[in-house]
Amino acid sequence: MLRLLSSNIAFYFLLGLVSTPVVANQIPDSFPPSARYALVAQKLDEVTELNPQSANQYFPPASTLKVITALAAQLELGTQFNFQTRLTQSGQNYSLIFSGDPTLSSENIKTLLSKIEPKQNNTIAGDIWLDNTVFTGYEKAVGWPWDIVGVCYSAPASAINIDGNCIQSSIYTQNNGETRVFVPQHYPVYVMTDAQTVSKQQQEQTHCDLELLPTQENHYHLSGCLVKRAKPLPLKFAVQDTDLYAQRTVYKLLNQLGLKLKGEIKIGKMPGTGSVIATHNSEPLPLLLDTMLKDSDNLIADTLTKTIGQHFFKQAGSFNNGTEAIKSVIEQQTGISLKNDQFVDGSGLSRNNRIRVTSMLKILRYIWQHDSELNIIDKLPVSGESGTLKYRRSMRDEQFQGKIIAKSGSLYATHNMVGYGLDTKGSPNSVFIQFVTDYFPPQTDSSVPVESPLVSFEKDFYQQVIKLSEQ
C-alpha cells in the first residue's frame, strides 16, 4: 500500500498485485487543500487489508448508495416482485389502491378508471378513494436541501406517484424584458413568472439568477433573471403535494372518460372490503433496478427503500424503517454489518448519509461473489457506453470505452464512483472505490476551455484501474 499526504489531503491507493504503482501524479497541485479522498483498487481474486485509518473514514455516498439499495431489494423482494396498483369496488364506492409504483403513469390510471361501469348516465354514485396507506411518514427524506425540492430529481417518494411526480414545462425570454412560461394543459398545476430577461453582462453585474419558489398547493413562482435566449429553456418541477396532485389528476381523467362523479375523491382507506376490478403491474424488479442504476433514478430507489421497510417489518413503509430494513436484510443474508453507517434514504440524495470505505468494499465484493444469483453487475452503467457513464467527461476517451462498469454519485462538492474494472474478455477483474468530498476548486474566468483538475485526476485513476484489471 502506498500512502501519500499532501497538506490536508489524505490519499489511499491499493493496487493488489502491482508492486510499484505509478501514482505520483494522481493528485494535481491545483486540487484544493480542503478536499478529502479515499481511493481503493484491488484485484477481485485477492483480498488486501485496508489501512484502518482509511477504511474507517466516513464519506457521503451520494448515488453510489443505490448499489446497496439494489442489493437489499434483490435479497428481500426477489426477482418476481413488481408494484401493483388496484381498482376495487365496495357498494357504490371505488378505491384506487396505490403501492408506491414509481413508474405509474396517468395513462395507467386512466386505463384502470375505464373499467368502472356506472349503472346510470355514466355517473358514479359514490366516492372514489385514493388509498395511500402503504407508506407513512415523510415523502422527502431528512437532509434533502430545500433549494432542490422544485426539481424532478428530488420528487417526493409517495405511495401515489404519477408520471414520476414530475411536471415538464418551459420558459421563454421576451424582447420587452419579461419572460413567459408554458405548461401543458394536462398538468393540474399553476406556474407564474415575473423573472426578467437580461443580457449576459447584466446577469454577471447584478449576480441575478433564475429562482424557483414552490408551494404546497403545487403552485410555482419563477423570479430573478434569465439571460436572453433564442430557444425556450426546458423546466421540470417536482410535485409538492402528491395527494392534491392525484385528486386533481383523477378528476381530469374522469372528465376525459366522460364519467361523472356524484360523490368526492377522498384520500385514505375506503370503508368496507372491496372486490378487485382491475390491476396494473409495474415492470418486474430486475427491470426497475436496471433503470434505477443506469439512470440513477432517485424515485425508484426511495420507493423501493420504503417497500423494503414495509415488506420486512410488515407495516407501512417509511424512510426510517426502510433504511433500517436495508441494514437488517444485508446483515442477515450476507453477514455484512452496516450498523455504524448512516442511511436516511435509499437514493443517496440526502446530505446526511455517510458510509465507510470498508463497508462499500465489502458490498461490492459480495455482489461480485454472488453475481450469478443477483445479476446486479450487468445493470450498472458501462464507461462510454450506457447510462450515466455514457458521456462522463473523464470516460469519453476511447481508452476507457467498455473497460469499466460502475455507479457514479455526485452531490455538492462530492464526486464518487464505485464498481469494477473489466479484463480483456469483458469480465470484472478488479474492484475500485473513488470517494472525493469537500472538493471546492477555485473559480476561473478563462474563456479557453481547460480540462478541470478533477477530470484529469479521474482519468489517471481509471487508467490505473484498467491497467490492473487487464493484467
User: How crowded is the C-beta side of 30, counted as CA atoms within 13 Å?
Assistant: 12
From residue 369, how far is each of 42, 362, 428, 431 by CA, in Å? Answer: 14, 10, 11, 12
Residue type for 1, please? M
CB 95 within 8 A of CB 112: no
CA 28, distance to chain mean position in Å, is 30
Between CA 379 and CA 367 the distance in angstroms is 12
Identify whether 251 is part of a domain.
Answer: no
CATH of the domain at 337: 3.40.710.10
pLDDT per residue over 134-185, tens digit each?
999 999 999 999 888 788 999 999 999 999 999 999 999 999 999 999 999 9
3-state helix, strand, coil in the chain (%, to 5): 30, 25, 40
The three-class DSSP label of residue 39 is strand
The three-class DSSP label of residue 307 is helix
Give residue 451's pLDDT. 83
The three-class DSSP label of residue 55 is helix
DSSP string covering 327-358: HHHHHHHH----TTSB-S-SSS-STT-BEEHH
Whether the pTM exceeds 0.85: the reply is yes
Tell whether 289 and 222 lie within a shared domain: no
What does the DSSP 8-state code read for residue 309? H
- Give the mean pLDDT of 432-458: 84
Would you tell me how many other CB atoms lie within 10 Å of the CB of residue 370? 16
Give residue 7's pLDDT. 31
Between CA 270 and CA 333 the distance in angstroms is 37
CB 360 within 8 A of CB 64: yes
Between CA 239 and CA 247 the distance in angstroms is 13
Tell whether 36 and 177 lie within a shared domain: no
Per-residue confidence band for 313, with pLDDT thresholds at 50, 70 and 90? very high
Single residue among 223, 238, 253 that ends a domain in this structure: 238
Tell whether 305 and 433 lie within a shared domain: yes
Backbone φ and ψ of 30, nearest 5°: -80, 0
Kind of pairing, strands 93-97 and 128-131? Answer: parallel
Tell whether 341 and 439 lie within a shared domain: yes
Backbone φ and ψ of 188, nearest 5°: -85, 60
Query: What is the extent of the structural domain holding 182?
Result: 163-238
The x, y and z cell numbers of residue 142, run together, are: 431528512
Single residue among 177, 211, 238 that ends a domain in this structure: 238
Per-residue confidence band for 14, with pLDDT thresholds at 50, 70 and 90? very low
In terms of pLDDT, which residue wins out, 114 or 22? 114
Instruction: Assess whether pLDDT exceeds 60 at residue 15.
Output: no
User: How crowded is the C-beta side of 157, counted as CA atoms within 13 Å?
Assistant: 31
Tell whether 451 and 375 lie within a shared domain: yes
pLDDT per residue over 370-412, tens digit each?
999 999 999 999 999 999 999 999 999 999 999 999 999 999 9
Give residue 29's pLDDT. 65
Identify whether 21 is part of a domain.
Answer: yes
Backbone φ and ψ of 426, nearest 5°: 85, 15
Tell whether 227 and 290 lie within a shared domain: no
- Percent of the chain scored above 90 by pLDDT? 82
Closest by Cα among 239, 61, 215, 245 to 140: 239
Closest by Cα among 208, 312, 246, 287 to 85: 246
pLDDT per residue over 220-257, tens digit each?
999 999 999 999 999 999 999 999 999 999 999 999 99
Single residue among 238, 264, 293 that ends a domain in this structure: 238
pLDDT per residue over 20-65, tens digit each?
233 333 456 667 888 888 899 999 998 777 777 667 889 999 999 9
Between CA 169 and CA 111 the distance in angstroms is 25
Place of cell 426511495: 302
Taking the CA atoms of 398, 401, 403 and 405 in sequence, report the sign of the dihedral they define.
positive
Q: Across the chain, how many H-helices and E-strands are there?
A: 11, 22
From residue 356, how far is each of 37, 338, 341 by CA, in Å? Answer: 12, 9, 7
Tell whether 64 and 186 lie within a shared domain: no
Instruction: Assess whether pLDDT exceeds 80 at residue 97.
Output: yes
Tell whether 49 and 174 lie within a shared domain: no
Tell whether 310 and 426 lie within a shared domain: yes
Closest by Cα among 392, 320, 406 to 360: 406
CB 296 within 8 A of CB 39: no
- Please state whether 286 falls in left (phi above 0), alpha (psi between -120 and 50) or beta: alpha
Between CA 266 and CA 411 the distance in angstroms is 38
CB 83 within 8 A of CB 103: yes
From residue 104, how far is each of 66, 132, 162, 289 by CA, in Å? Answer: 21, 14, 6, 15
Backbone φ and ψ of 49, nearest 5°: -65, 135
Closest by Cα among 439, 289, 442 to 367: 289
The x, y and z cell numbers of residue 192, run together, are: 407564474
Tell whether 357 and 226 lie within a shared domain: no
Mean pLDDT of the chain: 91
Identify whether 402 is part of a domain.
Answer: yes
Backbone φ and ψ of 454, nearest 5°: -65, -45
Tell whether 48 and 177 lie within a shared domain: no
CB 86 within 8 A of CB 278: yes
The three-class DSSP label of residue 418 is strand
Tell whether 231 and 310 lie within a shared domain: no
Place of cell 357498494: 91
Number of domains observed in the structure of the chain: 2
Identify whether 90 is part of a domain.
Answer: no
- Please state whether 250 falls in left (phi above 0), alpha (psi between -120 and 50) or beta: alpha
